[in-house]
Chain A
Amino acid sequence: MADQITLEVARYRPGLDTEPVMQSYQVPLREHWAILDGLTYIKDHLDGTLSFRWSCRMGICGSCGMTVNGDPQLTCATFLTDYAPGPVRVEPLRNFPVVRDLVVDIGDFMEKLPTVKPWMIRDVDSPVEEGEYLQTPEELDEYKQFSMCINCMLCYSACPVYALDPSFVGPAAIALAQRYNLDSRDEGAADRDDVLTSPEGIWACTFVGECSAACPKDVDPAAAIQRYKLTAATQAVKNFLLPRGAR
């Protein structure tokens, strides 16, 4: 195995560059080195001006998402050896404005997320003395998958519908709404419905399915969206056919 690999890294300096330019670096090709380790090596030894985000280095904080050889990836969970002999192209996540180098602005998602109210909603909160809201393992299974989201934005980066129309609420936000809709302790489905069934919500999705392919946590946001489409459509038919009281 060669002991070096080339990383082609997108550089963008706001105010100086009008668009990103690719810059090549040679980094050691070590077993167990993730792309992120390669970038850290560049920053420490070759070029201290390179900017990128990371935190946990163990696939749980969701901050190190980048486009690696065209695919959205968590760079701390993607290994250099899988790309040998290289070169490896590292670019910022697609579909988000680039702030600098590999750093993108995810403010759009941060604004959308609270609109789907991804927290427990109860009609009446029962007092603490009455104890926990109990849940069976089967009830947990209903939403567990959707609760695994780490907000890494790989799904938005993979989604052409979001690319074409940034007003789309998007995969992770809808999956997180479903995470609470399907929770037996939650009573807020009606509160989330308006945003989810707006034109920018589930109906904008054409089931490309790339969000689920990109997701590192097997959340399957595409399935969350389709399931809610079926729920919302069934509800619409009921509202249409049944008198108000019988719903």
Chain B
Amino acid sequence: MTTRRPPAPEPFLWLLFSAGGMIAALFVPVLLFLFGVAFPLDWLTPPDHAHLLAVLRNPITRLVLFGLCALALFHWAHRFRYTLYDGLQLKRFSVPIILFCYGGAVVGSIISAYLLLRV
């Protein structure tokens, strides 16, 4: 408050990580269960194409899905970065690790925005 440091990135990255962790914890299990397990194994009948298209064209769905994709990717980026630091003791390679993780999240977010807008 009194110091005039340039804003460090860490608090913002942590907030993105946390928001991503929360939204992923809430939404991913049900989506993955339905589309990854229940439909492929014929436990439930998959929705028909027209219905899914209609759902995806709803702006609210698009917004939620974009938030989910982008934040979940930043969640991955942050956690994976520290997993490489601590789990494999690779902290000395922090620059390429940071570029790969957060860069991947940025690229992934752009791709998801593009795919969602195109629906």
Question: A160 and B86: CB pair below 8 A?
Answer: yes
With a 10 A CB-CB cut-off, give which of B3, B11, B85 has the most chain A CB atoms: B11
B10 at the interface (CB under 8 A from A): yes
Cβ contacts under 8 Å, B10 to chain A: 197, 199, 203
A232 at the interface (CB under 8 A from B): yes
Interface string of B1-36 (1 = CB under 8 A from A): 111000110111011001000000000000000000
Contact of A247 among B1, B11, B12, B14 (CB under 8 A): B1
Question: Within A176-208, which residues are at the interface with B (CB < 8 Å)?
Answer: 190, 193-194, 197, 199, 203, 206
A16 at the interface (CB under 8 A from B): no
B58 at the interface (CB under 8 A from A): no
B76 at the interface (CB under 8 A from A): no
Interface of B is mostly: helix
Closest chain B residue to A206 by CB distance? B82
B91 at the interface (CB under 8 A from A): yes
Question: A236 and B8: CB pair below 8 A?
Answer: yes
Cβ contacts under 8 Å, B82 to chain A: 206
Interface string of A222-233 (1 = CB under 8 A from B): 000000010011
Cβ contacts under 8 Å, A236 to chain B: 7-8, 11-12
Cβ contacts under 8 Å, B18 to chain A: 233
Min CB–CB distance A14 → chain B (angstroms): 27
A203 to B15, CA, bound (A): 11
B89 at the interface (CB under 8 A from A): yes
- Indicate the size class of the contact surface on chain A: 20 to 34
Instruction: Check A203/B14 contact, CB under 8 A, given A160-B86, A164-B89.
Output: yes
Interface string of A208-247 (1 = CB under 8 A from B): 0000000000000000000001001101110110000001
Question: B86 and A164: CB pair below 8 A?
Answer: yes
Cβ contacts under 8 Å, B7 to chain A: 236, 239-240
Cβ contacts under 8 Å, B12 to chain A: 233, 236-237, 240
Question: Within B51-87, which residues are at the interface with A (CB < 8 Å)?
Answer: 82, 85-86
Cβ contacts under 8 Å, A247 to chain B: 1
Min CB–CB distance B52 → chain A (angstroms): 36
Cβ contacts under 8 Å, B8 to chain A: 197, 236
A194 to B1, CA, bound (A): 10
Question: B86 and A161: CB pair below 8 A?
Answer: yes
A236 to B15, CA, bound (A): 10
Min CB–CB distance A156 → chain B (angstroms): 16
Min CB–CB distance B116 → chain A (angstroms): 26
Question: B1 and A229: CB pair below 8 A?
Answer: no
A165 at the interface (CB under 8 A from B): yes
A197 to B1, CA, bound (A): 12
- 28 residue pairs of the A-B complex, CB under 8 angstroms, read A160-B86, A161-B86, A164-B85, A164-B86, A164-B89, A165-B91, A190-B1, A190-B2, A193-B3, A197-B11, A199-B10, A203-B10, A206-B82, A229-B11, A233-B11, A233-B14, A233-B18, A235-B1, A235-B11, A236-B7, A236-B8, A236-B11, A236-B12, A237-B12, A237-B15, A239-B7, A240-B7, A240-B12
User: Could you list 11 further interchain pairs (A-B, Cβ under 8 angstroms) beyond the known A164-B89, A203-B14, A229-B11?
Assistant: A164-B86, A164-B91, A193-B1, A194-B3, A203-B10, A203-B11, A206-B86, A233-B14, A236-B7, A237-B11, A247-B1
